[in-house]
Chain A
Amino acid sequence: MLRLLTAPLVLTVLVMQSIRLALGQIWANKTRSALTTIGIVIGVASVTAVIASLTGLKAKVLKDFETLGTNKIYVNPDWPREGRFRNFNWRVIRFRPEQFDGLLERCPSISNFTMMTNRSKKVSYGIHSIDNARISGINPSWHEIENRSVILGRPFTLMDEENGWQVCLITPAVRDELRLDLDCIGKRIIIDRRSYRIVGVVETRVESGMFGQMGDSKEVFIPFPTAWRLWDPWMYIIAACRKPELSQEAQAELKFFLRQTRHLQPDDPDTFRMDVIEEYLKQFNTMAATMTAIAGGVVGISLLVGGVGIMNIMLVSVSERTREIGLRKAVGARPSAILLQFLVESVVLCLFGGLMGIGIGQGLTTLISKIPNAHFLSMAYIPLWAIGISFGFAGSVGVFFGMFPAIKAARLDPIEALRHE
């Protein structure tokens, strides 16, 4: 009766004693243990570092998306995969400003939109110039949609558009590079052999990590009609819906509207494409999941290698301690107790490796987050679940690869074990 009552306690004490024994064993063979667990250490360190990087990347991307705005819909002309428009010239496929006349009245879920066109051109002021400034043609509504304030001077107005004035907005980076005065309003800069009057300075785009292009901060804005008239370019629009929840409706309205203004027949496929930030987010999530899976595979292999090391050292340990096993059996240890002892030892060894791996992984993560020119990794950190998973994996490796040596120990014949030298 008492025996039954104490059974769980006996097991607990056995496990605790095995843990203490195992720690003693690891401590007594410090170098050996460290070398043995190296596979586990590397495996766990790399998995934590990779997960930390991905987590940081994801946090960064989410933050970027927030600043980019989740209520925006990007609409680009696009060739359909089939149908009569498949091979049409880009001049036919592209958008034209008049296709968007009456958009706001016909699409009630959309609060605002701006036409956009981008070019890379040389900008100069006196002897100073920028070879590849980003020139964007925008509507006045752009200010509202992109939420970028004018820190000096004034934003674009409908007047600028209607009069077709050659005016521009610049970013502080352009002002600095062209050596313009701090108060540069009214100065004239040359873009593509034409002169533009600076009417305002727009704040630099919020650092948007991986989505910004190089040299992004050197931007010049001109009224869209001016750009259209001069360059006859490829254009797209950015529309803002009234609320992020209305995104689907807004897209449906836009689609209906555009199919009409672009004179598509009912069986023609769309000749345009709509992108929303959420889509990118989803894509990014799948990409991150794939990367995690690949990293997991690599780590799996290194854990496998580490596991073989563990098995080897456990076999050595069993053979070194054959007499001890014999004695324990002689005084009444059941095979299961011996099995437990060696399994615990192997698991403790692996968890010890896991601990070191997480430590090194933390070190790597700190290093990674400090890499210059890799802003997108600056938020890298090890999430709690990754620590859990690392320990879980290390422990499983311990059980899996410790099983064979432990069974071997449990099956030893007490007499033969005691006779072992």
Chain B
Amino acid sequence: MSMMPTSRDDVVIRLSGVARTYKVGVESIHALKGVDLELRRNEYVAIMGPSGSGKSTLMNILGCLDRCTSGTYELDGRDTTRLSSAGLARVRNAQIGFVFQAFELLPRLNAIKNVELPLIYAGGEGWLNRKARARETLTKVGLGERMKHRPNQLSGGEKQRVAIARALVNRPSILLADEPTGNLDTRTSLDIMALFEQLHQEGQTIIMVTHEDDIAHHAKRIVRMRDGRIVADELTGSNRQIATVAPAT
């Protein structure tokens, strides 16, 4: 119900009534209680909310790492809820780039090998040109000089750049980042935000989770969660004048 004119093709992500329930013993934990969300191409969204509000659960579902208990999730116009685990793996490989708080680099591989990893499993053109692609992407995130370094020879910020390069190397539709600056100091966090801004300028769709306001305000849109629901969805700063967004149900 955005007031901006949008064509259907522009929608990258459409969640409707997504719920996720964890079973712990006899207890059921309702981490997501019916989330509706629409994201257009080249949006830059921050998801905020207190700890335990379901941000990571939502991100995992968006990243096809997890399945929702009910509701539907369409990515690039295709329903993902019925995919097999191999099918989900292919979606993760081709359409999603995920950046973790703890970097998750493989310690025994150097930077370029870590970045190559998604292409190893890809096949097709990306697979054929994996070395060149990895080199190019590492250069883009500013690590052209550190390709042969192992993770333990890199600083926290550099590690996260490698992880971002890895997320981008197969040219995903969406870049997901769950607290990407959570393990970094303020200065380094700002560098990463500058990188995200640059990627956004180049047209990359970005969704990141953060609980820090100043980090969130680098995004163009902020989705606020509480207790498994979206409670606010607004544009930031100068974007505020362009459009207003429907409140959460």
In the complex with contacts A6-B123, A6-B128, A324-B106, A331-B118 CB distance below 8 A: yes
Closest chain A CB from B82 CB (angstroms): 17
- A3 to B94 CA separation, bound complex (whole angstroms): 12
Count how many chain A residues have C-beta atoms less than 8 Å from C-beta atoms of the other chain.
28
Q: Within the complex, what minimum Cβ distance (angstroms) separates A414 from chain B?
A: 5
- Of B83-91, B134-142, B190-198, B230-238, the segment with at least 4 beta carbons within 8 Å of chain A is B83-91
Per-residue contact bits, chain B 64-83, to A (CB 8 Å; 1 contact, 0 not) = 01100000000000000000
Among B104, B108, B166, which residue has its beta carbon within 8 angstroms of that of A323? B104
Are A3 and B123 touching (Cβ within 8 A)?
A: yes
B124 touches A2 (CB 8 A): yes
Taking CB atoms and an 8 Å cut-off, the chain B residues in 22-63 that contact chain A are 60, 63
Cβ-Cβ contact count across A and B, 8 Å cutoff: 77
**B125 in contact (CB, < 8 A):** yes
Q: Is the CB of B89 within 8 A of A329?
A: yes
Task: Report which of B63, B108, B117, B123 forms a contact with A10, defined as CB distance below 8 A.
Answer: B123
Map CB proximity to B onto A298-332 as digits: 1 under 8 Å, 0 otherwise: 00000000000000000000000001101111111
Contacting residue for B124 out of A3, A329, A414, CB 8 A: A3
Q: In the complex, what distance in Å separates the CA atom of A13 from the CA atom of B126?
A: 14
- The listed residue (B65, B89, B98, B170) touching A333 by CB distance below 8 A is B89
Residues of B within 8 A of A13 (CB): 120, 127
The answer to whether A334 and B104 touch (CB under 8 A), given A6-B124, A10-B127, is no
Q: Which residues of B contact A333 (CB under 8 A)?
A: 89, 93, 121
A385 CB to closest chain B CB, in angstroms? 37
Which residues of B lie under 8 Å from residue A336 when comparing CB positions?
86
Residue of A24, A327, A331, A335 near B85 (CB, 8 A) is A335
Q: How large is the interface on B (under 10, 10 to 19, 20 to 34, 35 or more residues)?
A: 20 to 34
A337 part of interface (Cβ distance < 8 Å) = yes
List A contacts of B122 (CB < 8 A): 10, 332
Q: How distant is A242 from chain B, measured CB to nearest CB, in Å?
A: 72
The docked-state distance in angstroms from the alpha carbon of A247 to that of B122 is 70
Q: How far is the CA of A2 from the CA of B85 in the complex (A)?
A: 23
B84 to A: closest C-beta gap in Å:
9
Cα distance A2–B170 in the bound complex, in angstroms: 15
Binary B-proximity of A7-34 (CB < 8 A = 1, otherwise 0): 1011001100100000010001000000
Task: Indicate if A35 sits at the interface (CB-CB under 8 A).
Answer: no
Return the chain B residue nearest A24 by Cβ: B108
B176 to chain A, nearest CB (A): 10
List chain A residues, Cβ under 8 A from B108.
Answer: 24, 28
- Chain A positions within 8 Å of B123 at CB level: 2-3, 6-7, 10
Chain B nearest CB, measured from A249 CB (Å): 70
CA distance A328 to B121 in the complex (A): 9
Q: Shortest CB–CB separation between residue B168 and chain A, in angstroms?
A: 11
Known contacts A7-B123, A414-B65; is-contact A332 B60 (Cβ 8 Å)? no
Q: For the complex, what is the distance from the CA of A323 to the CA of B117, rounded to whole Å?
A: 15
The minimal Cβ–Cβ distance linking A259 to chain B, given in whole angstroms, is: 79
Given A17-B120, A418-B100, A2 and B93 contact (CB-CB distance below 8 Å): no
Question: Could you tell me which residues of chain B, from 163 to 194, have a CB within 8 Å of some CB in chain A?
Answer: 166, 170
Q: Is B217 in contact with chain A by the CB < 8 A criterion?
A: no
Contact with B along A247-269 (1 / 0, CB 8 A): 00000000000000000000000
Give the contacts of A131-145 with B (CB-CB under 8 A). Answer: none
Residues of A within 8 A of B150 (CB): none
Q: Would you call A2 and B125 a contact (CB within 8 A)?
A: yes
Task: Give 19 A-B contacts (CB < 8 Å), ordered by A residue.
Answer: A2-B125, A10-B120, A10-B123, A28-B108, A326-B104, A329-B92, A331-B98, A331-B117, A331-B121, A331-B166, A332-B89, A332-B92, A332-B93, A332-B118, A332-B122, A333-B93, A334-B85, A334-B89, A414-B66
